[in-house]
Structure formats: C-alpha cells, structure tokens
Structure 1
C-alpha cells in the first residue's frame, strides 16, 4: 500500500496549452519506450478491442471494460459492497477516488437525499453529475431540476456502481462536468434463484435503530422470458432527535425477452416512496450543549417516483443498435420550520410535480478502414419535461403553537424540450486508440413564474431561454502493455439553466433572471494511467476543470435562495487508487487483499471577492485505506476514511471570507476528521446452505465530527456516531 505525495500539485497552475503539451510529450515518450515490448503471457491477458462493436459501454461494466476506457473510471461490484462496512450508498461512494460525500444536513438532510460532489464541485443534492440507474436519469428533471433531494435508489437493489469521473464521453448529459454515475440493478438470473436479507443498525448512545430489508427473486423461463422482483427498504430512526420515522420502499420489476441470439427487449417498472424527518442545524451554543438535540418537530421531506423504461437491443458481429425510452412521474414536498427571531417561527412548504419523457436510439458499427479497426457510434436523444412548483409560507407563530394559515408565495410552471445528437468514432492504430466526438444540444426551456403577496397574486413573468451548443471531446489511449494503459482526454461540458434560475421573486415581485444568469460551461482535461493484472488494480489521474462562469445558490436577508454568478472557477488535482491481492505474491498470503485511494483537489474562485480562495464544502485531501482477509468461511475487513478541513465562507458579496465559526453555526471552517470501520462475516454454507451472517462497527472510536449548512435550516450538524450493524442474508 502506498500514498502519493500531493506536494508537486500544490501549485498546479498549469494552463490548457501546457496540459496539451504534456499529454503529447507523454504519449510520444511512452510510444518510443515500449515499441519493442514483447507480448505478455496469453493466459493472463486482458481482452483487447476487436472489430466487434461495443455499443453501450455502461452495460455490463467490469474491470476489463474500465481498463479499456480512456478516462478516470471506477467500478464497485456487489462482492465488494457485501464484504466491506458499506450499509448505504454514501458508504459505497466514499470508496471512489475524486468523489466526496457530504453528510446529511439542511434541506438535504433526510435519508432519501443524496449529496455527492466530484473533484471539488458542490455536493449539495448532487447537481453536477449525470446520475443514472440502468441508464435512466435519477433526477426529477435532467435539464430543469437536476438535484437529488429525492434519490430513488437503494443499496439492496444494486449490483454495481460505475463512476466515470471525467466528461470523457459525448453521449451522456446534459450535466456531465462531474462525470457519470450509473447504478446497475441486479441482473435477471438464468435459473430461478433469490435472496432475502436484513441489515440492522444501532447508533451508540442514542438508542436509535434502523432496519434495511431487501428481497430478490427471479429467473428465466424455457421460452427465454426473464423475470425478477427487487425490493429494498429502510425503516426506523436516525442518530439525532427528530431524525426519525424514516420510511423508504423501493420496488423494481424487471422483465426481459430474447427473440433470438441477436435481438432482445427489456421492460423495467420502478416505484420508490420515501419519507424522513430532517433535524435543523444547531447554533454554536446548542451544538456545544448537545450536538444530537433538535427543537424542530415539523421538518420532514417526502417524495415518490414511478418510472417505466423500455429497451430494445440488436447485436451481431459488427452492429449494435439500442432504442431506450422512459417515462418518469415524480413528486416531492417538504416542511421546514425557520426561526424568524428568538421567540417566533414560520413554516415553509414546497410541493413540486415533475414529468419526463425521453426516447434515445443509438447505433454503433464496427468497420475496417484500411488496416485500422474502428467503431462509429451515432445517437439522438429527445427529452421533454414538465414541472409544477409551489412555495408557501405561514405567518409567524410562537414555539409549540399551532401553525397559522399558509399563504402561497410563488408558483412555477416550467417545461423543457431538448434535442441532443452525438457522434463519436474510435480508431485503433496499433497500440493507440483515438476517439474524437461531438454532441449537439438544442434546448428550449420556459418558466411561467408568479409571485404572491399575502396569498394574493401580484404578478407573473414568462421567462424562457433557448440554448444551442456544440460540445466536442477527444480521448486518446496508449496500450503500453497488455496490462498497462496511458490515457488523456479533453471535453467541453454544458449545464443548462434550471427552472429556478430563470425567474425569482424580490419583495413579492416576480422578475426574470435570463439577462443576469446564464448556462454553465466547463473545459475538462484528464491525463492518467491504469494497470490491471497479476493481482494489482491501480490508477493515477491528473485532472483540470476550467469553469468560465459558475452559478451558486446563496441566501438573501429574507432567507430566500438566490442564484448568483460566482464567476470563473478552476478545479485541479490528482486521484490515485490501488488494490492488491497478496495471493498472487505468495500462497501463504492467499485471501489477503489491501486497497486504498487518495485524492488531492484544489478548487478555487478565479474571480470576484474570493479570488484565489477555496470553494465551499470540499476537502483538499481525501483518503481511504483498507485491508480484507478471507479464510475458509470467514471474511474480515477493516478500513479507514479521512478528509481534511472544509470551508463555509459565506457570500462573496460581503467581501469577508469567514474562517472563524459564527454564532449561528452556519459559517466558518469545518475541521477534518478520520473514522475507522470493521466488519466480520461468516458463510454457513456447510451447516445451512445459503445462510450468511456479518457484524461490524462504523466509526469504531466514536470520533465526533461535524459539517455545516447555509440554507434555510442551516447551522452545525454532527456526524454519525459509533454505529453497530448486523447483516443476515439467505440465498435460495
């Protein structure tokens, strides 16, 4: 196990031209150095790209596919999830280089939300990555409302997590500056089989228990019809007061039919419902007295989603065609109690409805151009969204009193029609693989926004914007050996304006913001290397993200969320990941594995009052270290997670970059921390076929850590205390 020193990258102020020159020189030198290298032993050789068309490279992702991808990419399979102390998607994603997971807080503080950021991008509600489940977007509306305050995905239904961290593909979007994350659900088995499981978590010192049951059953009939039913849920209480009544049900019915060896069709029906209380942020004084307390009893988040996806595929020796269509209907609402003074409060509500329809044909064909093996892929995506949002607020009331009448403050009826067409072509030139591509986005978005005063309509504005963008990309890979690849890529990423970025209310008057705000664009670059073979899986990547203008959500004096222009920002750093099977080194060490990752990120403002200062809520240093041992029926794992300090500096308009903690707990530096986890499992296969039992502890040494939030229920939030868990499962 090793760590790569971040020191050379502390002053990583290289420009795009310098990066391009470095890529070219690196490739040239490596090409010369390995021109005479001999072919490795064929018994331990990765499958190379042949004339067969790959088509959808997110499908059936594995270590070999990751190795052949010309960009930073990590996959976590179910075996890894089952053997480590991962009881949630947040735990699993912390194992990926470059990914930072924010603790539940503020309006993203329920168990149904997901807060992840990639390479220093904002983590709150995961807005800057294209996050998919089986290729279908998880956000309410991919163009107009990409946040995941409702994340309709559960760990128990997941077979693998595929994280493509760079914008190295033109095929996915619109928001891919933070890469692509695809959750693949459990596959339909060839023969009838199933499993039931239960994870029980107990937070030390809180007497709070949470249960996570799961069920999987399925099989394929003789007539080639495959069926599978998946269920995963979460029931119980969190580790803070008023963080209770979590109730999540996630059900998926998968069907598939093979017409023949080449033509297949699959239909997935998915329904998710989730509710959970959201404790408020604490002031500095409240946190010092009791970090687990909560005085809000009305704060909660609730949502549901129903979606259906239909996929037809044809694959022969040289052709790969896929037609994907999906429909999504989702709803979310929340209650948030806010202190207007020491004795008075008001209640905010925000019910919202969304519908999404999309159709996407994609065709890939492998062909030979002279002596070159090549594959061209063309695709088109049409996506249509509709949204209906309401914001209401009560008049003030005393603590514990009944809530007065809630008046409408704003309403919003938005919609988007988006066309995306893309083409890329992979050329194989000996040991080189070069893939240029381009995506064209044409987006029409509107929002009919109304403001009310004391519940009475004041005025309405009809905001709209049309965006047309060409987004090129270029990926290059050099296959130094059968096990070792070097890659580089460059791409332009685009984020369209969201519904709540088109209009806003100021002093009960609706205003358009299409002249003051704008879509976001970023130039993304990567250069790195990967090794897979002889028990070693390693990756090292340097990255650079250059935002022309980045938008940020801030708070005004009335505690309203206001989108403003942060200006230019840059994100640069290195990512390293490694795992090693010591059984490849010596038979005596059979069953012993070690793994780890380290990320250094420097994300700073390049304009405005905070120029040169770190962006909020990310850590410059994040690391994991772990070791696992399997002997006979036993599986034992121990791992460590650590992150350096973060910042919550406040609004840049103030001109003050706040580092000292404020009395309300919202602003100031956030201390770094490290936690340890252990897990031991036993497979009772010899005594009772199919039964497995495991137990573990997260945050073994009960390290108290915290984060902050600056939103309407912001303040200081304590992290998860020492938590014991028991996992039981039975396969049949």
Structure 2
C-alpha cells in the first residue's frame, strides 16, 4: 500500500461547501460602502463588555501581548486567572490548556474559537489540538468561563477561548517585523491591509522556525491569513476569511525515561521522527441588521486538516525491543534497522450556523435575547502504517509492520440555544439553555471485504443561569450556574473490532461561581471569583493516570473548587504620573484548593488496580498559579516589563506518587518559578521599533510534563526583534 494512497477521500467536500456558501449568497445590487466596522460573532467584545457579562471572563489586550512580547499562545494565556497552559515543544504549536484544575492534555476541555467561529479541526469527534496559528495573527484574546459559554458549545466543562483578529483597516497601512534569538529562533511577520474598491482587506503572513527545547527538534511553520470585509448598504455586512497553515517539524512524540533525563535533560534519541501538517480554513459571515433591535448573523465554514506523524516511540515506556519490532534488536540499532509508525490523519469539518439577537422592553424590564441553530459535520480518515526502517514512509513487511489501523469516523451534530437577559435597574438575570444532538459512526476498514461498522447517538440538554447586580457605575457582583458537557470521542464510544457501543458516558458536571468585578477606583481594577465544578463523570487520558495508552477512561465523580483573582493598576490612569510615563502592575492568581477523586474509585496505574484513590488529587492540577508583571513606560521612548510566573507542584498519576518511576511517566512535578524580562524601544525619531525579550532569565531547569515521559521546560531564551510600520 503506497503512502500516496494512504487516505481515501471522504467525498461531498465541494458539494457541502458550495451548499453552505449558496445559502449565504447575497444579491450585490445597490452596493454602498460605509465606514463603520462590520459585525462579527460577539463573545465578549470590547473589554468594557466584562461589566455586563453574567459570569467570569477575561481579556488579553494587544498592549498586553506587545509589552510581554509573547512568542506562543501559552505565554499569553498565563496572564489569565484560572488557566494552566503547559509547554510542549517551545512554540505552542500543540498547546495544552487546562482550566480550574482540568486536564490540560491537548486542550480537550476547552472550546477554541477564532472570531467567534470554531477553530478546532474536530470539536465534536476529537477535540484535541494538534495545530495552532501563530499568536501574531491575533489582536486580542477573550476567555469566557461562566454560564455565558453555553451560547457556543459543544464543550462547556471548562471555558471558551476566542482569538480575535484585527479588523481590516480603512486606509492602506501595514507593518513588517523580523526577530531572531537563541535556539535557532527566527521569525518574519507581515501585516498589510486597506481598501480595495468597495471592500477592505487584511493580509497576514508569518514564518517562524526554531530548534525547540530539545536536541533534534527543528520546528518550522508558515501561516497565511486573508480577511475581506464588505458592507452592502447600511444593513448588510460580509466577512470572508481564508487561511493556510503548514508545519514541517523534526519532533518526537515521546518523552524521556528517568535515566535518559538524568543523563541529558534535553536529549532526543529519535532523530528520524517527523511531523508534517497542512490546514486550509475558510468561512463566510453575513450580518443583517434587520432593525435597530434585531440582528441576524449567519456563517458557513469549512476546514481541511491533514497531518502525518512518523515516530519510533509514542511514549517513554515504548522503547524498541524484540517483541514490538523483531528486526530492531534494541535501542543500539535505533538509527539503522529499527522501524517506525506513521500516525496519518485527515479531517474534514463543515459548519453552518445562524444567530438572531433581539432587544425589547416589557414595561420597565429591558430584554436582550439571542437564539441560534448550528449544523456540524466532521469526517476523520485515520491510518496507522508501520514501516521497517527509521526513515521509511511506506508499509513494511516484517512482523507487526504494515497497515495497523484504517478507520473512517463520522460525526453529524445539530445544536441550538436560547438565552435571555432581563434587566431591571441594577439587577439582571440571564437564563439560557442549549440542546445537543450528536450522531457518531465508525468504520473499521482493515478488512476491506468485511468492514466493521458501528453507530451511537448522544443527546444532552444544557441549562444555565447568570445573575449580575450593579454595585456602581463600573462595579458588579455576579453569580451563575450551568451544566458542563463534553461529548465523548468517536473512538471512545464505538468499539473498533465489534462496532458495538462502549457506552462511555459524556462528560458532565455542575458548575457554580460567585464573583466581584470592576474598578476599585480610577486606574485600579479587580476581579475575584469563587468557583466549583462537581463532575458526575470526568473523562481523563489514561496516560495521565499512569498508563501508556492514548485512550480515555472515566475518572468517575470529581470535585474542583477554588478562587481565581486578577488585579491591575496604572499610576497614569490614577493621575499620579504624566507626560506619557506610567508605572503599572498586573496580576493573575489561581488557587485550585480542591481537585480530587470522589466516591469509590480505584487506581488506573498498572498493578495497582485494587488500591483506592478516593480523595486523592487529580493529575496535572497545580494548586497555585501566579502571574505577576510590573512595568514602566518611558513616555514615547519605550517601556520595560518584568514578569514572574509560578506553576505549583502537581501529581502525575492517581496514586499521587512522589518518587519518579523508571519510565518517567509518574512522580511529583516540582513547583517552577520563571522570570521574564522585556524591553521595547520606539522613540519618535526612529523609523522603526526594536525589542529584546529574555524568557526564563534565570535559566531554571524544570519538568513540564510526564504523561508520555519527561518533557523539559524551555531553557533561557533571548529574542531580539525590529518592527517597521508603514
């Protein structure tokens, strides 16, 4: 079987995309351009929108991104309370984002959006993040964690992260940037936009490469993004987006054993492993302002994601041996006679969604309602091809080689929601409900003469309610509760060999929160939230429970409780500094006081299945997360910032083992303290701006993950860049 034939096209791609776009087609007669920004799907909107949201939320503004000179989305999200963003390869290409003590592995508990539309390649059938656009594409980030997140779905257990791209400019303008640094870091970034006839366009291009945080880990990505906005008279807006992402990385999937880590913390024995990915995405959003109080927004979207990950090991417990690779004969022959595995994946994702918002009054009560309906179609084509040689890319002929997996997986989902906000004076009550109907299908094609097929259906009603009370012009109290829901993956609900339903229940929880948010005084803002997530059935990867597989398992009943808080202050906004000078501080603190197994629960660690773990702490749930930054602005000349990041200690298995295991997958991860420094220079008489960023300034040696073996944290990194606006 040739790798060229590795994927059978799933069909209907062009037809479904054409159907979605034809539904959105708008007559182009009587065109007229106006200067107002076109409408988008609103998640939070401007930062001031946080004053009216019935639940916890945060934003990371463009100024925050520039002052910290973040390289990855992980660096940006650490500024948000409640978020644990775990590093992997150094550029955030496969971010691992957890919220409030939830597992960060592959960001499966998080719903990722771009401009309010799904960013993940399979949010229903396989919500794992193996791709992420460069952070430079975005102008700001919105994070929503309360009951308001049921407007989006399907994942409502953790929260929503919405990446917001800048609007297309109304006058021609642009900026080019170049950066280089330690560990082979190089980056070129271009933003360009302006009017084109009746339209406005924005083009972004980014090329980034790095040697990564381990040996033999060359990373290289190229990302292109185009946004076109067009106003059709005073009541119709169109936004078209098109993107292309490509990655070619020499990266392994496996971490290190304890012995390997102690010998050389940054080694990578698997020099022939490689990851190649390409993604095309497109969407069209039509906004129709029917009246001053009624707006209809309809979108069609499509993405195609193809990735091939060839590797000789998937975790530190899988080292070449006679049983798994009879022609290998051990690690000594890793680069000569040992074979490899090709995990080959292709995803087609389609979406069609419409949202209607309406404002009205019922006596003294002001009503703001929104309802929506969405159809999603996901198709996965999955192969595992085992080759006979380290660099082989075709099926081998030896024992355990050849095609080991050949799966088609389908998901079709209908969802709808209705929310209403009723305001009377300082009080606002926001009830809502979301409905999910998901049809899943799996086809095992290993035997083409007798394929094994299976189907399953998941349905869920997701209610929620939020309450706000205005304590002052810029200060509110809020409370809310909602049902958390995360659908099971196709592979976790349908057996591959029999086609029978495995009956792995959907992940559900009851989420509560109470908080205060607003301006304590001019120039000083705060937000503090108590949260509780009570899971009936939390799903966790077996690898973080001490196993070596990639399948999921039920952790049963679990409880998460804690407090998250942020505080910001600016001497300039307080009126204490003038002339463009400013001394500012921002902080985000999270205490996950409880993250424990409840009920009768026994260990998932091999050989310890009879040991009870009830009351033990969940894996990868650090108790403390702290982000503190202090900066000084030198008028128009520039600014500097010092940032402190602390990640508390965490267990890596359900036994809460402290001593490291031989394979490195178990054992306590100690608390990590990192210091970052940034200097930005942009004097008025300079034709360009410049910056220098020092990450992990003390060169602290840390471990960030043990789920597939030990992964080291990034060493000290220095990056220098220049930017030229035009």
TM range (shorter): 0.7 to 0.9
Per the alignment, residue 347 of structure 2 pairs with 354
Per the alignment, residue 718 of structure 1 pairs with 712
- Closer, same or farther in 2 for the Cα pair 1:496/1:323, shift >3 Å? same
Does structure 1 retain, via aligned residues, the 8 Å contact 2:484–2:511? yes
What is the distance in 1 between the residues matched to 2:591 and 2:264?
Answer: 34
Does structure 1 retain, via aligned residues, the 8 Å contact 2:341–2:384? yes
Per the alignment, residue 147 of structure 1 pairs with 128
CA apart distance, 1:460: 4.3
CA apart distance, 1:168: 2.7
Per the alignment, residue 183 of structure 1 pairs with 163
Q: How does 1:297-696 map to 2 (within 5 A)?
A: 297-315=271-289, 316-338=291-313, 339-341=319-321, 343=330, 346-394=339-387, 404-405=396-397, 406-450=401-445, 460-504=451-495, 510-512=497-499, 514-532=501-519, 534-554=522-542, 559-588=548-577, 590-601=581-592, 602-607=594-599, 608-609=601-602, 610-632=613-635, 633-649=637-653, 656-688=655-687, 691-696=688-693
What is the distance in 1 between the residues matched to 2:640 and 2:185?
Answer: 23
Does structure 1 retain, via aligned residues, the 8 Å contact 2:546–2:665? no
1:446-468 Cα offsets, whole Å, 9 max, x none, are 11135x5xxx7797432221122
1:81-131 Cα offsets, whole Å, 9 max, x none, are 0111412211101111000011206xxx88521111111111111011110
- Closer, same or farther in 2 for the Cα pair 1:461/1:138, shift >3 Å? same
Q: Secondary structure at the match of 1:366?
A: strand
- Closer, same or farther in 2 for the Cα pair 1:546/1:511, shift >3 Å? farther
What is the distance in 1 between the residues matched to 2:393 and 2:207?
Answer: 34
Unpaired runs of 5+ residues, structure 2, are 1-38, 314-318, 322-328, 332-337, 603-612
1:231 aligns with 2:205: yes
1:607-636 Cα offsets, whole Å, 9 max, x none, are 412211111112110001111111121211
What is the distance in 2 between the residues matched to 1:635 and 1:557?
Answer: 46
- Closer, same or farther in 2 for the Cα pair 1:319/1:325, shift >3 Å? same
CA apart distance, 1:709: 2.9
CA apart distance, 1:489: 0.9
CA apart distance, 1:333: 1.6
- Closer, same or farther in 2 for the Cα pair 1:69/1:398, shift >3 Å? closer
Q: Which moved more, 1:469-478 or 1:495-504?
A: 495-504
CA apart distance, 1:399: 12
1:557-613 Cα offsets, whole Å, 9 max, x none, are 995433222111111111000110112345347411011111011211114122111
Does structure 2 retain, via aligned residues, the 8 Å contact 1:647–1:669? yes
1:78 aligns with 2:62: yes
Q: How does 1:58-137 map to 2 (within 5 A)?
A: 58=43, 61-104=45-88, 112-137=93-118
Does structure 2 retain, via aligned residues, the 8 Å contact 1:167–1:177? no
What is the distance in 2 between the residues matched to 1:138 and 1:576?
Answer: 28
What is the distance in 2 between the residues matched to 1:111 and 1:458?
Answer: 42
CA apart distance, 1:717: 1.6
Unpaired runs of 5+ residues, structure 1, are 1-53, 203-207
CA apart distance, 1:394: 4.2
- Closer, same or farther in 2 for the Cα pair 1:703/1:682, shift >3 Å? same
CA apart distance, 1:217: 0.6
What is the distance in 1 between the residues matched to 2:63 and 2:531?
Answer: 29
Q: Secondary structure at the match of 1:189?
A: coil
Tell me the number of residue pairs that the alignment of Structure 1 and Structure 2 aligns: 648
Q: What TM-score do the two structures reach when normalised by structure 2? A: 0.85
1:36-89 Cα offsets, whole Å, 9 max, x none, are xxxxxxxxxxxxxxxxxx994327x22201222111111111121011141221
Q: Secondary structure at the match of 1:168?
A: helix
- Closer, same or farther in 2 for the Cα pair 1:626/1:398, shift >3 Å? closer
CA apart distance, 1:684: 3.3
1:392-419 Cα offsets, whole Å, 9 max, x none, are 3346x79999995441112211111111
Q: Secondary structure at the match of 1:687?
A: coil
What is the distance in 2 between the residues matched to 1:55 and 1:372?
Answer: 27
What is the distance in 1 between the residues matched to 2:391 and 2:442?
Answer: 36
CA apart distance, 1:177: 1.1
Structure (1/2) with the larger strand percentage: 1
What is the distance in 2 between the residues matched to 1:534 and 1:398?
Answer: 62
Per the alignment, residue 32 of structure 1 pairs with none
1:495-533 Cα offsets, whole Å, 9 max, x none, are 12212213455xxxx144623412111111111010135
Per the alignment, residue 247 of structure 2 pairs with 274
CA apart distance, 1:312: 0.8
What is the distance in 1 between the residues matched to 2:121 and 2:68?
Answer: 31
CA apart distance, 1:285: 1.8
Taking only aligned residues, the RMSD between alpha carbons, in angstroms, comes to 2.4
What is the distance in 1 between the residues matched to 2:41 and 2:119?
Answer: 18
CA apart distance, 1:376: 1.5
Does structure 1 retain, via aligned residues, the 8 Å contact 2:395–2:403? no
**Which runs of 4 or more aligned residues in structure 1 lie more than 6 Å from their structure 2 counterparts after TM superposition?**
397-403, 456-459
- Closer, same or farther in 2 for the Cα pair 1:159/1:546, shift >3 Å? same
What is the distance in 2 between the residues matched to 1:92 and 1:256?
Answer: 27
1:255-299 Cα offsets, whole Å, 9 max, x none, are 011112322111111111112222432222221121111111122
1:228-256 Cα offsets, whole Å, 9 max, x none, are 11112212311310111x12111111101
1:260 aligns with 2:260: no
- Closer, same or farther in 2 for the Cα pair 1:266/1:635, shift >3 Å? same
Does structure 2 retain, via aligned residues, the 8 Å contact 1:87–1:199? no
Per the alignment, residue 17 of structure 1 pairs with none
Does structure 2 retain, via aligned residues, the 8 Å contact 1:55–1:364? no
Q: Secondary structure at the match of 1:57?
A: coil
1:284 aligns with 2:284: no
- Closer, same or farther in 2 for the Cα pair 1:111/1:531, shift >3 Å? closer
- Closer, same or farther in 2 for the Cα pair 1:459/1:706, shift >3 Å? farther
What is the distance in 2 between the residues matched to 1:139 and 1:401?
Answer: 27
- Closer, same or farther in 2 for the Cα pair 1:657/1:540, shift >3 Å? closer
Q: Secondary structure at the match of 1:170?
A: helix
What is the distance in 2 between the residues matched to 1:558 and 1:368?
Answer: 57
What is the distance in 2 between the residues matched to 1:351 and 1:400?
Answer: 14
What is the distance in 2 between the residues matched to 1:720 and 1:515?
Answer: 40
Q: Secondary structure at the match of 1:573?
A: strand
